[in-house]
Amino acid sequence: LASKLPTVGTTIFTVMSKLATETGAINLSQGFPGFDCSPELVSLVEKYLRGGFNQYAPMTGVPALREAIAQKTADQYGVNYHPETEITITSGATEAIFATVTAVVRPGDEVLVFEPAYDSYVPAIDLNGGVPVYVTLTPPDYSIDWQVVRDKITDKTRLIMVNTPHNPTGHVWTTDDLAQLANLVRDRNIWIVSDEVYEHILFDGRVHNSLMMHPELRERTFVIGSFGKTFHITGWKIGYCLAPKELSVEFRKIHQYLTFSTVTPIQYALADYLKEPDHYRQLPAFYQRKRDLFLAGLQGSRFTWKPAEGSFFQTVSYTDITDEPDYDLAIRLTKEIGVASIPVSVFYNQKNDYKILRFCFAKDDAILAEAAERLRNL
């Protein structure tokens, strides 16, 4: 079979998690919580499983969940989305990203991608015949040079992929970034994907500047969320897409033939669980403590870093330790000291040697302390 994705191998998340399991290493590579979700949420799912909510959900999602998301979005960002026509429940953010790209991109369309980029974006663009155009962000700031973005926009640009808080760097967009983007897309036929799966995980008093909060951006943006990160349920694969009515119509045409609908009892459970804002409002403090614990453990090591602004990932530079490429070092550290990480170069299209590793700190305190101790002694 002639491959439609000839340059794609197995994702780095699978590669590193498998190696961590085989070697018994502490797994700070693939991003998932090392602790369980709340028993209350499990009980709610059980209630609906036992209550006979086990057949197809409506294609667009269970109404109660769409209404709960509309309420949460209004409370949190002061922005209204109509649950009937502008909110669609998906099987994870991954499905929502793929559906959006498929709905928008035609062969030859250019799609602006900020790299390092989450690894599902570019294959979705490729499979739809789009042409990724990269804006490269560099350590330690990963901030956006808007003049560079301006220079990359052409008449063929159809879509821009945004991710804030950012995986893998933890970088967070400011209101100025929103204004800059709005200036660039004004009067152009350009749409935006805003991957906001870490919307509730920001540190040091930062607030999440959702693209929906800028009225001009709201009109052309597919805002994508996931409950995986917010409620420690990455294995449940449930997310959503918020988009103006005419964009949601096109999004739903793809969604209905990708998966049709998303797991029913979990949707009912989340609709109930979302009604209590404390379930997500405590996340910044919860994860900031973990970030700080991990970084305190790295004090005195030869790694250097800027504390992550958001997400549950911390990137560190190892230029003072070794010349090895990051992929080789990630493999070696897993095997030799038993700490698995993600080499950040895999999130770039351009070959590069920035010497950055990403560590996931969504783990129990004792695990983080042990991993940091092993890294400190390098």
| Residue ranges binding ligand PMP (CB under 6 A) | 31, 92-94, 118, 163, 167, 195, 197, 226, 228, 234, 237, 239
Residue 31 or 297: the one with the smaller Cβ distance to ligand GLN is 31
Tell me the closest approach of the beta carbon of residue 317 to ligand GLN, in angstroms. 19
Select 157 or 341, whichever has its Cβ closest to ligand GLN.
341
Write out the DSSP string of 18-41.
HHHHHHT-EE-SS---SS---HHH
Q: Which is nearer to ligand PMP, 33 or 265 (CB)?
A: 33
Residue nearest to ligand GLN (CB): 31
User: Which of ligand GLN, ligand PMP, none lies near 13, with the C-beta cut-off 5 to 8 A by kind?
Assistant: ligand GLN
How far, CA to CA in Å, does 66 sit from each of 84, 270, 363? 8, 10, 30
Least distance (Å) between residue 12 CB and ligand PMP: 12
* Pair of tokens at residue 66: 């769409």
**Cβ proximity to ligand PMP, 172 vs 301, nearer residue:** 172
User: In the numeric block, which tokens belong to residue 320?
Assistant: 């003072």
Smallest separation, CB 330 to ligand GLN (Å)? 13
Which residue's CB atom is positioned nearest to ligand PMP?
92
Please, which residue, 298 or 340, has the CB nearer to ligand GLN? 340
Residues shown for the chain: 378
Q: Assess contact for 342 and 29: CB atoms under 8 A.
A: yes
Report which of 5, 34, 68 is spatially closest to residue 370, judged by C-alpha positions: 34
Q: Are strands 87-90 and 239-242 parallel, antiparallel or unpaired?
A: antiparallel
Three-state secondary structure along 319-348? CCCCCCCHHHHHHHHHHHCCEECEEHHHHC
Q: Return the one option of ligand PMP, ligand GLN, none that residue 226 interacts with (CB less than 5 to 8 A, by type).
A: ligand PMP
Residue among 11 and 174 whose Cβ is closer to ligand GLN: 11
Q: Which does 265 bind (CB under 5 to 8 A by kind): ligand PMP, ligand GLN, none?
A: none
Please classify residue 23 by burial: count the beta carbons closer than 10 Å to its beta carbon, then call 0-12 exposed, 13-18 middle and 19+ buried.
middle
The Cα–Cα gap between 272 and 73 comes to 15
Q: Residue 255 is encoded by which pair of tokens? A: 């969604």
Distance CA 163, CA 63 (A): 27
Question: Residue 189 CB, nearest distance to ligand GLN (Å)?
Answer: 31
Binding partner of residue 30 among ligand GLN, ligand PMP, none, CB cut-off 5 to 8 Å per kind: ligand GLN
| Distance of closest approach, residue 373 Cβ to ligand PMP, in angstroms | 26
Which residues here bind ligand GLN, judged by CB under 6 A? 11, 13, 30-31, 167
Least distance (Å) from ligand GLN to the CB of residue 14?
7
